[in-house]
Structure 1
Amino acid sequence: MSGVRSDGAQSGGVRSRTVDITTPDGTADAYFTCPDGGGPNPGVLFYMDAFGLRPHLQAMADRLAGHGYAVLVPNVFYRAGRTPVFDLPEFIDPQARPEIFERIGPVMQALTPELAMRDAEAYLRFLADSDDSGDGPVGTTGYCMGAVLALRTAAAFPDRIAAAAGFHGGGLATEADDSPHLGADRITAELYFGHADNDHALPPEQIDRLNAALTDAGVRFRAEVYEGAAHGYTQADTASYDEAAAERHWRNLLELFGRTLR
């Protein structure tokens, strides 16, 4: 497979394939991409947004792999079916098609924190067993709902996760008893968050609560609000895409992984 990125720029050559990962509850299909050369390479667990595993996320994973990482993008909704779980338009505009979330919502709700972390163990085992990645420190990055999964994974597997990032995440620090921020005291990874501006899914009080929890737990982290960027700003196949904010996300993500996984 060529190393041409989705933005038309040239990255390192990558090779990719669809893989099946055995979990305690079945088989999760996933996209796995890595540098076109010898391994092992630092592993990255890439968590999708609610729209699911699709060509745009594969292109993002390829771009990351072109910088020297073995990237796994699991279909975290595999219990509802193999990719594609949802019949989505090529360009996603939820305001024009509100029924999209009517289909996605119940599947999201069914993925409980317990199920998600049970799956995460299987995803991390795949990376550890692969000759392309190996059992070294792993990074994780997540988008929208994937930011929640990245934060939970950092807390659940502190011996494996060396770096975690979340972009335009929602519900990171709610008042619920199982809010993701409550695992801060178990995190040993370095974290980075690129929050969307004026995001209904992550209001200022949640950002403050998350920052306080991480600070109190002594977690190394940086959190920034991307001014003017809407929820979903990294996703070029959606109406929320913001090219400048998306490129800023790439700079910060690559800087984090370059420092912690090399």
Structure 2
Amino acid sequence: MSQINKEDVKQEVFDLYDDYAHDRLDRRAFMQKLSLYAVGGLTVPALMSFLMPDYKGKVQITADDPRVKSEYITYPSPKGGGNIKGLLCKPADAKKKLGGIVVVHENRGLNPYIEDVARRAALAGFVSLAPDALTPLGGYPGNDDEGRAMQAKRPKAEMEENFIDAFNYLKAHKDCNGKVGVVGFCFGGGIANMMAVRVPDLAGAVPYYGAQPAVADVPKIQAPLLIHYASLDTRITEGWPAYEAALKENHKKYQAYIYENVNHGFHNDTTPRYDKAAAELSWKRTIDFFTQNLK
């Protein structure tokens, strides 16, 4: 990654990347707009390199960490395109059944960051399952740009079924105590909200900067919610007031936090949008929430 100081990059550059990462700008338009900020020694290639995920050396819990037992499994998703691959993780020293956590990826498939999050959840004392919604198209291709293009080709309704079926698989798993929650990021945050609406026995939902469900669906929510937002992520946070009003009106159990001066994706430690303080605080709150609701 090019040596660019995050503090030297204008917020508009991060906003452009958000548009690109969510398919509101194609690559050519993204680079053209980015060129407006390639000044003072900053080149477009350098800015591109700075903004893109960098998985080398950023994994917190490696795949061979002896504290975690992890394996790739497949589970049935009849309405979701067939069998789905996922990473199943649990503490290596587990001696009893554990609460389960479905870990839902962003809009680019099961990349190294999300696999790392699944292992972090296991290390915290849970059995986790991180599905790859790109399985029917061959699985995560090894880079996020291609993964994003692939995921855009999958029917949204089928992907929703993939994650609901992951919940059902994990709930019935021999290592699970039957209490299953969900944590999701970006696209996955929207899936977490969707599952809160559609899965009556969901034990808890933690959407990170996720699209809100329709206000009309809020009465269906039974699970407690822990909601994380980024103050600079106006695209998502603008939907929060109506969602919160509906949660209050329907007497739903929720906690919500808006982390100041951080961007969408602040939990993802492989991109410059990462904010260490917000990521660590939100994750501590997440684990505390699951400990309370899944044990």
Fold agreement, TM-score > 0.5: yes
Residue 95 of structure 1: aligned partner: none
Question: 1:67-102: CA deviations, max 9, x gaps?
Answer: 1100000012323222x23534xxxxxxxxxxx38x
| Mapped partners of 1:251, 1:16: distance in 2 | 22
**Aligned partner of 2:162 among 103, 119, 122:** 119
Question: 2:83: which partner in 1?
Answer: 27
How big is the shift at 1:215?
1.2
Cα deviation for residue 109 of structure 1 reads 6.2
Q: TM-score, normalised by structure 2?
A: 0.72
User: Which one of 98, 101, 105 corresponds to residue 44 of structure 1?
Assistant: 101
Structure 2 unpaired stretches of 5+? 1-58
Asked if residue 229 in structure 1 is aligned to residue 262 in structure 2, the reply is yes
Q: Does the 8 Å CA contact 1:39/1:131 hold for their aligned counterparts?
A: no
Q: For residues 54 and 137 of structure 1, do their structure 2 counterparts lie closer, same or farther at Cα, with a shift above 3 Å needed?
A: same
Cα displacement string for residues 20-55 of structure 1 (whole angstroms, at most 9, x for unaligned residues): 112112121111101112231101111111232122
Gaps (5+ residues) in structure 1?
89-99, 173-178
Name the CA shift for 1:193/1:105 in 2 (closer, same or farther; >3 Å). Answer: farther
TM-score, structure 1 as length reference: 0.81
Kindly indicate whether the alpha-carbon contact (under 8 Å) linking 1:34 and 1:62 is maintained by their aligned counterparts in 2: yes
Structure 1 counterpart of 2:199, which letter?
A: F
Number of equivalent positions: 232
Deviation at 1:120, TM superposition (A): 2.8
Alignment partner of 1:166 is 2:207: yes
User: Kindly tell me: are residues 246 and 30 of structure 1, through their superposed partners in 2, closer, same or farther at Cα, counting changes over 3 Å?
Assistant: same
Matched residue type, 1:20: T
CA RMSD, Structure 1 to Structure 2 (Å): 2.3
Taking the aligned partners of 1:231 and 1:221, their CA distance within structure 2 comes to 21
Greater helix fraction, Structure 1 or Structure 2: 2
Q: Distance in 2 between matches of 1:13 and 1:180?
A: 41
CA distance in 1, matches of 2:123, 2:216: 34
- Judged with a 3 Å threshold, the aligned counterparts in structure 2 of structure 1 residues 223 and 143 are, in CA distance, closer, same or farther, namely same
Among the aligned pairs, what percent are the same residue? 23
Q: 1:187 aligns with which of 207, 221, 226?
A: 221
Q: Is 1:249 aligned with 2:282? A: yes
71-80 or 120-129, larger mean C-alpha shift: 120-129
Tell me the secondary structure at the aligned position of residue 235 of structure 1: coil
Largest Rg, 1 or 2: 2
Give the C-alpha shift of residue 154 in structure 1: 1.3
